Structure 1
Amino acid sequence: MINISDSAADRIKELLAAEETPDLFLRLGVRPGGCSGFSYAMGFDDEVHDGDEALDIKGLKVVVESDSLRYLNGVEIDFKDSGMGGGFTIDNPNAVASCGCGSSFKVKDEEGQVEKCDD
């Protein structure tokens, strides 16, 4: 299950409305890379691929790549708006370590070993 806060859902809906491409949705995924091993991928897309999981979260169509589902289970996405910046934050209960900026993370596999990414 992926959780999106009301403020994040509202901001995503605003951003989608500003786009000129019909049928856009939020795509979430995980990629090898970043200083901790895995990094988050979050953006808009209009093409669903084989194996993608489509979810409806707070009126948003959210598509998750099948290979990323296990890394994103329980993730909470929030949006903070502050005077000098702000942005989306991701709280991942599966992460055992993350980098200082919070955009990459490490996870443990089924045996409790820290997974290595395959670059």
Structure 2
Amino acid sequence: MAVTLTEAAARHVTRYLAKRGRGVGVRLGVKTTGCSGLAYKLEYVDEIEPEDMVFEDFGVKVLIEPKSFAYLDGTELDFVREGLNEGFKFNNPRERDRCGCGESFRV
């Protein structure tokens, strides 16, 4: 499978990278934390590392840490606005449970 971006997420990343004046895309990963065990990591990156898995949607590169791919395979990254709030949303088919605060998840 793959990790994909919605058009809204790609637009947001493209705008942010242009504002920064540098960057090749975003790197996604997971870290151990929270009450459910895992949390998503997202960072803007300037260089592709040799071990990165690279996917591309709408001209935006999504880099995945190999150790995180098992948790992220099939995930769609979206950018949503809900009322006054906006941010990235991970639509992950492997996610089985999420903690009440929304900070962590379990596969």
Normalising to structure 1: TM-score of the pair?
A: 0.79
The aligned amino acid for 1:73 is: D
Distance 2:9 2:103 in 1: 17
Q: Which runs of 5+ in 1 are unaligned?
A: 108-119
Contact 2:17 2:23 in 1 (8 A): no
Q: Which residue in 1 is equivalent to 2:44?
A: 44
Q: Give 1:50 shift.
A: 3.5
Aligned counterparts, 1:1-119, within 5 A? 1-20=2-21, 22-107=22-107
Distance 2:56 2:84 in 1: 32
Q: Give 1:81 shift.
A: 2.0
User: Across the two proteins, how many residue pairs are aligned to each other?
Assistant: 106
Q: Give 1:106 shift.
A: 0.7
Q: Which runs of 5+ in 2 are unaligned?
A: none
Q: Give 1:47 shift.
A: 2.9
Distance 2:45 2:101 in 1: 25
Normalising to structure 2: TM-score of the pair?
A: 0.87
The aligned amino acid for 2:80 is: K
Distance 1:2 1:101 in 2: 25
SS in 1 for 2:71: helix
Q: Give 1:36 shift.
A: 1.1
